[in-house]
């Protein structure tokens, strides 16, 4: 049996899904589209059933990609659990009316039942059941209230002829609302007062600055804590194992590729460049902790409902660079890892927006891996070195965005989005999301780092790096003012930026050179993993265009930095 | 008095009289239950022709400057 979870966005569908299903959750793309959905299993009437979390939609009019997919999935489902926000019954019932017209069994979960009560909204469940002719169960997905009852009633859901289908949907909704809902005015809660503060420009902008500053502080503290207390001690324990493997391999090329070269007589995780030393240390001990911290904080921001407010505040700025406010979300995702950032571009409606966003992200949004390594390189120079680098990146982001927006055909559609009320994130759902993101980071990142280290070692041993260095040296040495050895790092950057920056460490560069190298590395090409995703999302034509822009801009900016610093 | 949502003062409630746009515009607004006869409240507007935020049925919605220009409302006394 296939059970579909359907409802408007922000009705607690994900929390519901987490409640219903166990651990085996799969995220996949609907065939032939870029729309993602989650699938899991649950027990229903003693049998295992598939549960599908259909993308949240406001209607079934197939006007957007998500709606198209929802309509297609509906044809494959056996029963629909329609999750309805009890605090916003009228608007939610529009989708319900459309579902009822489709002649598929429907059961309604009246979610946020507790919140509706607090808000003074009274809904007569029995009357609603009679009006709609389907089972209705009040639920609170956050605490699990009502979920068992809902599951036990799934079998009572049956298809039926809808009443008064000849009347327009909104008229029917209005009729039902008049029958079943009574609203008493209640005082504003603390959350509601904060809702006003965080969206009015005068107070909203300072609030945004504080929230973002606290978020990045939290990411740093959690990330550093994990590295210092968990990952570094773990890798210290791992060191003797490496030594043992090293002894077994003896000296020579194989040793240098697998374990790496010794720095001052011992293995140095940052610089030895062995598959099993640096190749594992960089993604796991240096980057993963920050990725974990970043997605934890981002998940809280997402689930609390803050991000659409931020999107409203920055909407004007984002329009200037050819996107609308919601594009701030993939951009922020990109600060964690550009791969989910690139996938997140799907929320932008037009191809033009996606192209601009993808190009800007690949060039000027440093992922956690890059940030971690840039801090490693420039951290010792404090705010000066880091400040110049990040200001440069932001300037590139803004100027390039302006140029692309002015030169590309078409316009950006206007913003139109719901601002959901603030809600306390559901812990289990938060953890599930974090787990899935970490899992996909490890799946994407670790193999590529290992492959990257392997390739670079082979290139090094065979002398190809040296050859490339000589070929590219006029550009790298002349234009960017970097030593010839830095070319190897730039080549590495095609595979993994984090490692590439790590390769610059032993070269003894000056602050100026380090800033230029970090800037060029961050900008000229996204990592291979991002590149592959961008290929899928944009198609090869746009990707070639974006790549040309990337390489040109990075050398141009690097050259300017070399002149002015 | 009829005016556009854009000109409506922040904090005021108003009834939607007319949506001056094509089918697609009306359909888009209707998905969030923004229709003729509905009562809305203007919460805030962002500077420099930024988006307008309104409240409808106790829910907040942000919409673009140009869209707000096409929504004709009558202020509620």
CA distance linking residue A542 with residue A355, whole number of Å = 7
What is the C-alpha to C-alpha distance for residues A354 and A535, in angstroms, rounded to an integer? 12
- Identify whether A189 is part of a domain: no
CB of B7 within 8 Å of any CB in chain A?
A: no
Phi, psi of A480 (to 5 degrees): -95, -15
Cβ contact, residue pair A315, B35, below 8 Å = no
- Alpha carbon distance A146, A131 (integer Å): 21
Whether residues A544 and A517 share a domain: the answer is yes
Q: Is the pLDDT of residue A64 over 80?
A: no
Asked whether residue A166 is assigned to any structural domain, the reply reads: yes
Higher pLDDT, A285 or A112: A112
Cβ-nearest to A316 among B29, B48, B60? B48
Q: Which residues of B touch A59 (CB under 8 A)?
A: 31
Does residue A171 sit in the same domain as residue A210?
no
pLDDT surpassing 90 at residue A204: yes
Position A268 scores a pLDDT of: 81
Query: Using CA atoms, how far apart are residues A529 and A494, in angstroms rounded to an integer?
Result: 10
Q: Is A58 on the interface with B (CB under 8 A)?
A: yes
pLDDT of residue A19: 86
Among the partner residues A59, A90, A316, nearest to B31 by beta-carbon distance = A59
Q: Does A219 share its domain with A106?
A: no
pLDDT at A207 over 90: yes
Check: CB of residue A9 under 8 Å from CB of residue A85.
Answer: no
A240 and A369, same domain (yes or no): yes
Quick check: B63 and A416 CB within 8 A?
A: yes
B58 inside 8 A of chain A by CB: yes
Q: Which of A30-39, A278-287, A528-537, B46-55 is predicted most confidently?
A: B46-55
Residue A63 forms contact with B (CB below 8 Å): yes
- Provide the percentage of residues in chain A whose pLDDT is more than 70: 94
Select the highest-mean-pLDDT range: A94-98, A281-285, A396-400.
A396-400
Residue B70 lies in domain: 2-75
Contact A146, A113 (CB under 8 A): yes
- A31 burial class (0-12, 13-18, 19+ CB within 10 angstroms)? exposed
Closest CA of chain A from B43, distance in Å: 8
Question: Which H/E stretch holds residue A223?
Answer: helix A201-226
CB atoms within 10 A of CB A241: 10
Tell me how crowded residue A68 is: count the other CB atoms within 10 A of its CB: 18
The predicted complex's ipTM stands at 0.93
Report the pLDDT averaged over residues A554-560.
92
In a domain, A191, yes or no: no
Span A215-272, pLDDT tens digits: 888 988 998 899 999 999 999 999 999 889 988 888 888 888 888 878 778 888 877 7
- Spatial separation of the C-alpha atoms in residues A141 and A520, rounded to whole Å: 48
Distance CA A383, CA A389 (A): 10
Residue among A61, A90, A312 whose CB faces B53 most closely = A312
Question: What local confidence, expressed as pLDDT, does residue A500 receive?
Answer: 75
In this prediction, residues A202-226 reach a mean pLDDT of 91
Residues A116 and A229 in one domain: no
Rounded Cα distance, A485 and A489, in Å: 8
* Residue A86's pLDDT band (cuts 50, 70, 90): very high
State whether A144 and A257 are in the same domain: no
Which among A504, A340, A349 is positioned nearest to A417, based on CA atoms?
A349
Helices and strands: H and E segment counts in chain B:
2, 6
User: Total structural domains in chain A?
Assistant: 2
Residues A389 and A249 in one domain: yes
B9 vs A368, which has greater pLDDT? Answer: B9
Q: For residue A301, tell me if it sits in a domain.
A: yes
At residue A53, the 3 state secondary structure works out as strand
In this structure, is residue A192 part of a structural domain? no
The secondary structure element, H or E, covering residue A564 is helix A540-564
**C-beta atoms of B58 and A88 within 8 A:** yes
Across-strand partners of A36? A29
Band the pLDDT of A546: cuts 50, 70, 90.
very high
Q: Please tell me whether residues A434 and A522 are part of one structural domain.
A: yes
Residue labelled with tokens 């999750």: A83
Q: Are residues A381 and A490 in the same domain?
A: yes
Closest-CA distance, B18 to chain A, in angstroms, reads: 17
Judged by a CB distance cut-off of 8 A, whether residue A87 touches chain B is yes
DSSP tag of A393: H
Residue A362 in this model has a pLDDT that exceeds 70: yes
Same domain for A289 and A374: yes
**Average pLDDT taken over every residue of chain A:** 85
pLDDT at A206: 95
What is the spatial order of strands in the sheet that A79-85 belongs to?
A26-29, A36-44, A47-53, A2-7, A79-85, A106-111, A136-138
Predicted local distance difference test score (pLDDT) of residue A23: 65
Number of Cβ pairs < 8 A linking chain A and chain B:
91
- List beta partners, residue A266: A263
Q: How far apart are CA A8 and CA A82, in angstroms?
A: 9
Q: Kindly indicate the confidence band of residue A85, based on its pLDDT and cuts at 50, 70 and 90.
A: very high
What per-residue confidence (pLDDT) applies to A32? 61
* CA distance readout (Å), A193 to A85, A262, A421: 21, 60, 11
The sign of the torsion formed by the CA atoms of A84, A90, A96, A98 equals: negative
Using a 10 angstrom Cβ sphere, with 0-12 exposed, 13-18 middle and 19 or more buried, the burial of residue A223 is buried
Task: Note whether B50 contacts A417, CB cutoff 8 Å.
Answer: no
Q: What is the CATH number of the domain that holds B41?
A: 2.30.30.90
pLDDT at residue A359 above 80? yes
**A91 and B60: CB-CB below 8 Å?**
no
The whole-number pLDDT of residue A496 equals 64
Residue A391 — very low, low, confident or very high, per pLDDT cuts 50/70/90?
A: very high
- Which of B34, B36, B50, B56 best tests the A interface by mutation, with the highest count of A CBs <10 A? B50
Residue-wise pLDDT tens digits, A440-478: 778 766 777 677 778 777 877 787 877 877 787 788 888
pLDDT (0 to 100) of residue A166: 58
Domain that holds residue A371: 201-415+429-564
A347 shares its domain with A399: yes
Q: In terms of Cα–Cα distance, which of A237, A261, A238 is closest to A249?
A: A261
pLDDT confidence band for A33 (50 / 70 / 90) = low
Q: Is the separation of the CB atoms in A288 and A231 below 8 Å?
A: yes
CA distances from A412 to A310, A404, B27 (A): 18, 12, 19
pLDDT at A129 over 80: yes
Last residue of a domain, which of A183, A215, A230? A183
- pLDDT tens figures, B13-72: 999 999 998 888 888 898 888 988 899 999 999 998 999 999 998 889 999 999 999 999
Domain count for chain B: 1
Q: Do A17 and A69 lie in a common domain?
A: yes
């Amino acid at each position: 049996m296939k059970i579909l979870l359907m409802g408007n966005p922000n009705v607690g569908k994900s929390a519901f899904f987490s409640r219903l299903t166990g651990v085996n959750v799969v995220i996949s793309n609907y065939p032939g589209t870029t729309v993602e959905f989650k699938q899991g299993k649950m027990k229903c009437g003693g049998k295992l059933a598939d549960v599908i979390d259909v993308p949240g939609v406001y209607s079934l009019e197939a006007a957007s990609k998500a709606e198209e997919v929802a309509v297609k999935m509906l044809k494959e489902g056996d029963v629909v659990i329609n999750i309805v926000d009890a605090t916003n019954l009228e608007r939610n019932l529009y989708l319900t009316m459309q579902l009822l017209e489709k002649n598929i069994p429907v059961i309604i979960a009246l979610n946020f039942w507790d919140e509706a009560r607090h808000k003074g909204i009274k809904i007569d469940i029995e009357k609603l059941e009679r009006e709609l002719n389907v089972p209705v169960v009040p639920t609170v997905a956050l605490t699990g209230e009502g979920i068992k009852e809902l599951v036990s009633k799934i079998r009572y859901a049956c298809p039926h002829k809808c009443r008064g289908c000849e009347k327009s949907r909104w008229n029917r909704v209005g009729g039902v609302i008049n029958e079943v809902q009574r609203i008493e005015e209640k005082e504003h809660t603390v959350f509601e007062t904060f809702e006003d503060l965080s969206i009015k420009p005068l107070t909203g902008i300072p609030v945004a600055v504080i929230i973002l500053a606290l978020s990045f502080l939290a990411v740093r503290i959690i990330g550093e804590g994990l590295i210092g207390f968990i990952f570094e001690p773990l890798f210290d324990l791992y060191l003797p194992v490496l030594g043992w493997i090293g002894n077994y391999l003896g000296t020579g090329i194989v040793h240098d590729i697998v374990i790496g070269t010794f720095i001052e007589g011992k293995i140095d995780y940052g610089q030895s460049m062995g598959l099993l030393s640096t190749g594992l240390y960089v993604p796991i001990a240096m980057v993963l902790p920050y990725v974990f911290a970043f997605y934890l904080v981002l998940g809280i921001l997402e689930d609390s409902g803050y991000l659409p407010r931020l999107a409203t505040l920055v909407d004007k700025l984002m329009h200037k660079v050819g996107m609308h406010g919601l594009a701030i979300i993939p951009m922020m995702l990109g600060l964690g890892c550009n791969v989910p950032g690139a996938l997140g571009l799907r929320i932008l409606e037009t191809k033009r927006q996606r192209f601009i966003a993808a190009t800007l992200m690949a060039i000027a949004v440093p992922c956690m891996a890059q940030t971690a390594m840039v801090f490693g390189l420039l951290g010792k120079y404090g705010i000066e070195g880091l400040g110049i680098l990040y200001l440069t990146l932001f300037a590139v982001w803004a100027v390039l965005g302006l140029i692309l927006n002015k030169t590309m055909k078409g316009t950006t559609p206007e913003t139109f989005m719901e601002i959901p009320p603030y809600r306390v994130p559901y812990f289990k759902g938060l953890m599930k999301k974090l787990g899935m993101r970490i899992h996909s980071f490890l799946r994407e990142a670790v193999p590529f780092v290992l492959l990257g280290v392997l390739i670079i070692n082979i290139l090094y041993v065979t002398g190809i790096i040296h050859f490339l260095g000589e070929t590219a040296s006029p550009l790298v040495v002349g234009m960017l003012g970097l030593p010839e050895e830095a070319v190897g790092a730039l080549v590495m950057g095609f595979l993994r930026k984090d490692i590439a920056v790590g390769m610059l460490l032993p070269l003894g560069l000056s602050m100026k050179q380090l800033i230029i190298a970090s800037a060029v590395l961050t900008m000229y090409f996204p990592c291979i993993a991002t590149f592959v995703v961008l290929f899928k999302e944009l198609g090869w034509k746009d990707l070639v265009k974006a790549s040309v822009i990337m390489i040109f801009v990075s050398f141009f900016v690097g050259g300017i930095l070399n002149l002015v610093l | 008095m009829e005016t556009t949502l854009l000109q409506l003062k922040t904090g005021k409630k108003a009834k939607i009289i007319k949506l001056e746009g094509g089918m697609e515009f009306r359909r888009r607004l209707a998905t969030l239950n923004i229709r003729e006869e509905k009562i809305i409240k203007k919460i805030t507007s962002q500077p420099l022709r930024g988006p307008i935020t309104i409240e409808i049925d106790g829910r907040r919605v942000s919409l673009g400057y140009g869209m707000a220009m096409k929504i004709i409302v009558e202020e509620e006394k």
